[in-house]
Amino acid sequence: MTAWPHQSVLLDEVLDALAPAAGEVFVDCTLGAGGHTEALLQAADCHVIGLDRDPDALAIAGERLAPFGDRFTAVHAPFDRLETVLSEHAPDGVDGVLADLGVSSMQLDRADRGFSFQSAGPVDMRMDPTDGRTAGELLAEVDEADLAGILRDLGEERDARRIARAVVAHRPYDDTLALAKVIEESLPPKARFRSRTHPATRAFQALRIAVNDELGQLDRLLPAAVGALKPGGRLAIISFHSLEDRRVKRFLDEEAGYDAPRDAFGRPVATPRLERSRKAIKAAPDDPNPRARSARLRTARRPA
């Protein structure tokens, strides 16, 4: 049996939320190695459209899901193109939408993709290595103030200005280890040991989010996902850090009418587009997948 390079998080919880049934159509907006899609296809005689902007992920998932034949459709596209993709492949809408917003093990564990500071690799960080500006190119051009803003806003890095000053002073960068070293050495000893994570963790997160426009992509995905749902359709979004989760929660609250104007009887003036689960679903404390620890699943349903 092939050992696939990424373990899907919250798999049982996603299946419970999407509740696949025979004849239904789902879209997995972040296909990755295909773990969630495989589980959906095994659970019911349904069809899944899988999107990913990483050609390597599409190739791996295609091999994994080949036994399902024409019940699976792969599309090379970022998930903010969901509306365009579904206009071709599911013009009547879908019964469920899934998005797992985390970076996959296939990307993190390969030095040549440039996401990790654990081993030397190009300063790339693109989800789609065939398109867009690399992190190295961003660092070669950005000024110190803008870089500090990226580190602060996208990495929630409290030492953003100190790191930005050092990074700009030592550019350009040949590999990720050199960049991580500059970041680490820019910090005073107390800050280096402030948490259990590597001192470059937040800075690398910020650069990855900036290079891939991850928050902009998410802001464009959410309304498209709700618009694609048939009556009774289900939505499942997995986030891994607070920047994503806050956006998802706020959007679902708005769509569920939690903060909408109400009439004299306390009823929303406008009909909510979604019914949502109030609390995020988290991995069990004994979950063996270390990358599930920070995962948050938020779910919703379009009224029938």
Q: Residue 175 and residue 124: Cα distance in Å, rounded? A: 9
Among 64-68, 261-265, 273-277, the least confident range? 261-265
Do residues 99 and 154 touch, judged by C-beta distance below 8 A? no
Least confident span in 61-70, 147-156, 190-199, 227-236: 190-199
Q: Where are the beta strands (DSSP E) in the chain?
A: 25-28, 47-52, 72-76, 94-100, 229-239, 275-276, 281-282, 296-301
User: Which whole number is the average pLDDT over 110-115?
Assistant: 88
SS3 97: strand
Q: Which two tokens stand for residue 132?
A: 């867009």
Mean pLDDT of 243-262: 89
In a domain, 223, yes or no: yes
At residue 6, the pLDDT reads 59
**Is residue 3 domain-resident?**
no
Number of domains the chain contains: 2
Q: Is residue 4 part of a domain?
A: no
- Cα R_g (the chain), whole angstroms: 20
What pLDDT is recorded for position 271? Answer: 78
CATH of the domain at 250: 3.40.50.150
Residues 77-105 as b/e (b if ≥16 CB within 10 A, e otherwise) read bbbbbbeebbeeebeebbbbbbbbbbbbb
Tokens of 286: 């004994």
Q: Are residues 76 and 225 in the same domain?
A: yes
pLDDT beyond 50 at 240: yes
pLDDT number for residue 5: 55
CA distance 244 to 219: 9
Higher pLDDT, 26 or 284: 26
117 lies in a domain? no
Cα 8 to Cα 12: distance, rounded to the nearest angstrom: 10
pLDDT of residue 1: 40
Domain span holding position 179: 128-212
101 and 228 in a single domain? The answer is: yes
| pLDDT the model gives residue 168 | 98
Q: Are residues 88 and 138 in the same domain?
A: no
Q: How far is CA 29 from CA 3, 118, 302, in A?
A: 23, 28, 18
Enumerate residues 6+ apart whose C-beta is below 8 A from 70.
none
Q: How many CB atoms lie within 10 A of CB 40?
A: 26
Sorting pLDDT into bands at 50, 70 and 90, what band is 258? confident
Q: Which residue has the tokens 């159509």?
A: 25
Lowest mean pLDDT among 155-164, 215-224, 272-281: 272-281
pTM (2 decimals)? 0.91
Indicate if 89 and 224 belong to the same structural domain: yes
pLDDT more than 70, % of the chain: 96
* pLDDT of the residue at 161: 97
pLDDT band at 12 (very low <50, low <70, confident <90, very high): very high
Which DSSP symbol is given to 278? Answer: S
At residue 86, the 3 state secondary structure works out as helix
Whether residue 89 sits in one domain with residue 218: yes
Distance CA 282, CA 295 (A): 6
Last residue of a domain, one of 184, 212, 240: 212
Cα(96)–Cα(302) distance, rounded to whole angstroms? 10
State how far the Cα of 115 lies from the Cα of 122, in Å rounded to an integer. 9
How confident is the model at residue 244, as a pLDDT? 96
Lowest mean pLDDT among 89-93, 228-232, 269-273: 269-273
Check whether residue 229 and residue 193 sit in a common domain.
Answer: no
Q: Distance between CA 117 and CA 130 in Å, rounded?
A: 22
Mean pLDDT lowest among 78-87, 177-186, 254-263: 254-263
Q: Pick from 163, 183, 212: which residue ends a domain? A: 212
Q: What is residue 293's predicted lDDT score, i.e. its pLDDT? A: 79
Q: Quick one: tokens of 10?
A: 């919250």
Mean pLDDT score of the chain:
91
Identify the band that residue 210 occupies on the pLDDT scale cut at 50, 70 and 90: very high
Structure confidence by residue, pLDDT tens digits, 63-98: 999 999 999 999 999 999 999 999 999 999 999 999
Final residue of a domain: which of 172, 194, 212?
212
